[in-house]
Amino acid sequence: MSTIKLNGTSSGSSIIKAPDSGSTNQTFTLPASSGTLVTTTDAGVAGITSAADATAITISSAEKVGIGETSPTTHLLCLGEDSGSGDSGASSGISFRASNTENYISMSTVGGANNGARGLVINRESSNELIKFCGDGRGVSQFTARAWANYNDTTIYDSHNISSMTDVETGMSYANFTSAMPNASYVVQATAYSSNCDKHGPYIADAETGRVKILSLLKTNCDYADRTTHFVIFGDA
């Protein structure tokens, strides 16, 4: 006998059926307290509603949870829908929405040549990017620094998104960007270290998407001079 049929009190019936194969004396224990057993495609259990006809959530033997991922390798792993392929593809992930609005904030992965290795992007709705954390370590937004450096002559003390500095001549350098700016309308704020009150002031010229020229000028006689210079750049995401 592979099925047990239970008739309803007044009408209808339910059938408990063993799988055709692959099961060996599996025992299903009924709870001691009263309750209702339902199918996963009906109403759900204790507040969980599911209409899935395939595995949506997996809890592994290592107590790791996968959403759309049947072999989770972290405590919670969300597998989104990919567009593109490999590290150049974007993947939708987790969204948050207040109950009184249709607007939502989502977190997705992002990759590609201009984003470095795969990173994380936070969007308002599906395409209004708020901030992007690139896999190469950059945080890209309208309010995060696109590049900065602290240098003097042929020494770079520290930097971000700077692949190199070109020392052209005394007091004149190019900052070469690791990841190019989206346009040349960015803002450069530069200052310089001076210990002898020589009225030194840096200024910029030749702003390009791949580099910017920074010059150090002595205001007393307009000669160029090497000084430890700091700059930070903001621009379009």
Which positions touch another protein (CB under 8 A)? 136, 149, 151, 153-156, 158-160, 162-170, 176, 178, 210-211
CB closer to another protein out of 72 and 116: 116
CB closer to another protein out of 50 and 159: 159
**Residue 233 to residue 132: CA distance in whole angstroms:** 17
Residue whose entry in the numeric block shows the structure tokens 């201009």: 114
Q: How far is the CB of 212 from another protein (least distance, A)?
A: 13
Q: How far is the CB of 160 from another protein (least distance, A)?
A: 7
Q: How far is the CB of 166 from another protein (least distance, A)?
A: 5
**Residue 82 to residue 92: CA distance in whole angstroms:** 7
CB closer to another protein out of 104 and 157: 157
67 membership: H or E segment, kind and range: strand 65-67
CB closer to another protein out of 93 and 116: 116
Contact 60, 72 (CB under 8 A): yes
Q: Give the residue among 109, 107, 114 at the shortest CA–CA distance from 178.
A: 114
CB closer to another protein out of 55 and 154: 154
Q: How far is the CB of 185 from another protein (least distance, A)?
A: 21
Phi and psi for 32 in degrees, rounded to 5? Answer: -70, -35
Q: How far is the CB of 29 from another protein (least distance, A)?
A: 56
Which tokens in the block code for residue 150?
């602290």
Task: Tell me the C-alpha to C-alpha distance, in Å, between residue 192 and each of 48, 106, 136, 156.
Answer: 61, 41, 28, 14
Task: Tell me the C-alpha to C-alpha distance, in Å, between residue 100 and each of 48, 104, 159, 172, 236.
Answer: 21, 11, 44, 56, 32
